[in-house]
Structure 1
């Protein structure tokens, strides 16, 4: 009887006393959320072998110099086009506007896009897609460029936080189909912010 009691008590301890959860790494909520997603087998783009030892993504140090106020100009007469991807898939996008901003003492302009399929999904009605290339690509950051998620502004300005720049999923796993950054969205400056190369 004593042995059975000990056995049940042992099982109770194992089930009832969970190990303290490992604190998610990251300087900001954006970094912690991204690391959480990459750890989660149901959401992670990582291959199983990479996820097994995954602790955290490598980020540039958060820097307020890469949080910029941009002038926004909508481009309502643009025609939809099929954006090239890393596979044969050709999703339909439309150029929604242009953002102009100063970074490192220079002025730059980038296009922002809307995914015509995604805009009909709940929660994505005001989503804007900002893919960009910069002078860190292929060295400190992913060679194919990075993405930033934005929302349609109410006025003619918006904040762009390059600290939230992230890699397309195909940077981690070739099974994904990722939009290729349009060449006109290259800025001739090092954007040492956001996610680094994997």
Structure 2
């Protein structure tokens, strides 16, 4: 995989995306922030951008995702069905934290395989309920083509975000299934204050 990476450009683009999201949450009619709370809203909390959490993941594509659907409980007590379409295997290597070093897996889901919908990657980690939202966080990955076994894809955990139900009980959000609970802290992306 060729991924020309410039850390300064990446950090600037990430901060720009965060500022754009803050504007949406502050001003847009579809913001998950309840209208009565928007005046006090002064932006989301984030971990500092860290390129160590922008990793290359090896893709394992599942041949028949419909054969083994994954039920996910939601914050409203319902259950939704997702299809495990891929497994992403990646290494974390931190210079300052040997506890994070290792190989990890996250599963990627869709509700309908083969469509245009992005890969949905809900997860929990050791920050969940402490530094990050208690219901876990999400990532969405857009592949520029159909993925095949052995492909490499960039998994930027700095893009991890809290679902809308973290901001308002009017939303019903899938909870990460146990197979996507990481036994490591991922101090990247959105956090709670």
**TM over 0.5: same fold?**
yes
Q: CA RMSD in A?
A: 2.1
Distance 1:176 1:36 in 2: 20
1:145 aligns with 2:152: no
Asked if structure 2 preserves the Cα contact closer than 8 Å seen for 1:74 and 1:97, the reply is: yes
Deviation at 1:83, TM superposition (A): 2.7
Alignment pair present for 1:195 and 2:190: yes
The equivalent of 1:83 in structure 2 is 72
Correspondences of 1:98-113 after superposition (within 5 Å): 98-104=87-93, 105-113=101-109
Residue 50 (structure 1) aligned with residue 41 (structure 2): no
* Matches of 1:51 and 1:167, distance apart in 2: 17
Q: Tell me whether 1:93 sits opposite 2:82 in the alignment.
A: yes
SS in 2 for 1:35: helix
Question: Which one has more relative contact order, counting CA pairs under 8 Å at least 6 apart?
Answer: 2
TM-score by length of 2: 0.79
Residue 98 (structure 2) aligns with: none
Question: 1:27-62 deviations in whole A, cap 9, x for unaligned?
Answer: 623212211220124121011232111121010000
Could you report, residue by residue, the CA deviation over 1:161-187 in whole angstroms, capped at 9, with x for unpaired residues?
111110011111111000011011011
Q: Structure 1 residues 177 and 151, CA, compared in 2 at 3 Å: closer, same or farther? A: same
1:5-16 matched pairs, under 5 angstroms = none
CA distance in 2, matches of 1:85, 1:98: 22
User: After TM superposition, which residue ranges in structure 1, 4 or more long, deviate above 4 angstroms?
Assistant: none
- Highest Rg: 1 or 2? 1
Change (3 A) 1:27 1:108: closer
